[in-house]
């Protein structure tokens, strides 16, 4: 089954599939999520919630604590993963508005990656995930795909399925190289042998950008930005 | 004087002071900025601009390039800094919507920090900046102040002016520790002796959070999140 964590922040506008899922709601996410998706457990300090949520939280955490509510939810889900058979986690609603919370939520992706748990944040505009080693990206044809180093420089051996080659490319902090690559296949394979990559796939095809129609191998050593 | 760089993305809604400033506009930022602020130079590939901007760009960069338009603007401004007497740079409009561009824009803050140039991104909800060593934050009383490691773990020796102590605190990737500290003085002094800190100061005072009224020294070893 999959895990779903609903995060406070900009309400997620799309559909959330709760079939065969364990759904945790973190604090004020209840304000946008109630009635839209089944919630199995509410977690947090509820200093951002407008009402006591249902189901009633088993524990109200203190508002003065070291973890964010999203972090509490993720840690509990990781702890339950083996018992519940959770093989991947989706985070919803963590973008928008408060940039610091969005940035904190990216650390949840990193935490899950380090635990070997596939995890994706789904905002209204993008899918965000954190990876090491060899990995694949699905359903990217014609979409903007940005690769960013996360936590230090990242080295990419190569990719298959993106317009701009990334052969032996090191993405460093302080540079925007890696922003706005373009998917030219349905799926891409990326091989990153050093460091950690944050990947953002914009949801919409870029209708202004016809590069995805170009044949592979017909590209320059640069990315459109 | 100061440098101002207008970035594509969510339009900045507030006032922009162009007095004694060199103002660069990056590509599609022209769509939201024209008529609202004096623009000294337009830079970029203008694949996002709805019209040829005024003043007319001295050069149209190719859309297939390694740099973002914001990066081109920042590099040019850093190159001109000594000649023009630019001592700090403000970035406007870089948040919202496309998360990958927002994240790329954070690397502009890092790039400026590495060049020794004070630089701040001003979005509608927060002020973001990147720092190393000892630094101060102004006008933070009652505001949420989040400290995040950027590019690797960051070690804070201590702070003065924030509610939660950060003595000998290492902020690591994969943790949200450092999110949602609170300003208890007008200004804060932070001493970070290892790594780089990304600081987000939320613009509004947190009216739900009365911690800033607490006396210094009366705090627990944790942060409200």
Local confidence pLDDT in tens for the 225 residues of chain A: 999 999 988 899 999 999 999 999 999 899 999 999 999 999 988 877 778 899 999 888 888 888 999 999 999 999 999 999 999 999 999 877 689 999 999 999 999 999 999 999 999 999 999 999 999 999 999 999 999 999 999 999 999 999 999 999 999 999 999 999 999 999 999 999 999 999 999 998 865 554 444 433 444 444 444
Q: Which two tokens stand for residue A203?
A: 């949801």
Residues near A9 by Cβ (< 8 Å), separated by ≥ 6?
Answer: A29, A93, A94, A95, A96, A97, A98, A101, A102, A105
CATH top-level class for A127-225? alpha beta
What confidence score (pLDDT) does residue B216 get? 38
What confidence score (pLDDT) does residue A205 get? 81
Task: Domain ranges for chain A, please list them.
Answer: 1-124, 127-225
Q: Is A203 on the interface with B (CB under 8 A)?
A: no
**Which fold is adopted by the domain A1-124?**
Rossmann fold (3.40.50)
> What is d(CA A147, CA A129) in angstroms, rounded to the nearest whole number?
10
Nearest CA to B130 out of B104, B112, B146 is that of B112
CA diameter of chain A: 57
The answer to whether A183 and A143 are in contact (CB under 8 A) is yes
Residue B214 has pLDDT above 60, yes or no: no
> What is d(CA B106, CA B148) in angstroms, rounded to the nearest whole number?
12
Identical topology for domains A1-124 and A127-225: yes
> What is d(CA A188, CA B173) in angstroms, rounded to the nearest whole number?
26
CATH architecture of B128-225: 3-Layer(aba) Sandwich (3.40)
SS3 B192: strand
> What is d(CA B171, CA B155) in angstroms, rounded to the nearest whole number?
6
Give me the residues paired with residue B54 across strands: none
Preferred mutation among B44, B47, B91, B100 to probe A, highest tally of A CBs within 10 A: B100
Preferred mutation among A27, A69, A99 to probe B, highest tally of B CBs within 10 A: A99
Give one DSSP letter per residue of B52-84, joined into a string.
--SSPPS-PPPSEESS-HHHHHHHHHHHHHHHH
């Amino acid at each position: 089954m999959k895990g779903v964590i609903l995060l406070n922040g900009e309400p997620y506008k799309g559909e959330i599939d709760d079939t065969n899922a364990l759904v945790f709601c973190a604090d004020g996410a209840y304000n946008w999520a109630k009635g839209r998706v089944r919630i199995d457990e509410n977690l947090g300090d509820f200093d951002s919630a407008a009402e006591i949520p249902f189901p009633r939280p088993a524990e109200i955490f203190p508002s003065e604590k070291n973890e964010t509510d999203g972090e509490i939810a993720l840690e509990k889900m990781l702890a339950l993963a083996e018992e519940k058979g959770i093989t991947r986690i989706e985070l919803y609603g963590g973008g928008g508005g408060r940039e610091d919370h969005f940035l904190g939520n990216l650390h949840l992706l990193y935490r899950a990656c380090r635990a070997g748990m596939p995890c994706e944040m789904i905002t209204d505009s993008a899918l965000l995930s954190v990876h090491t080693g060899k990995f694949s990206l699905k359903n990217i044809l014609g979409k903007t795909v940005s690769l960013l180093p996360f936590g230090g420089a990242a080295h990419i051996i190569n990719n298959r399925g993106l317009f701009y080659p990334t052969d032996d490319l090191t993405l460093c902090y302080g540079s925007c190289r890696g922003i706005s690559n373009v998917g030219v296949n349905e799926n891409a394979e990326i091989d990153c042998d050093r460091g950690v990559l944050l990947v953002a796939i914009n949801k919409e095809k870029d209708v202004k950008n016809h590069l995805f129609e170009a044949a592979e191998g017909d590209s320059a050593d640069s990315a459109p930005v």
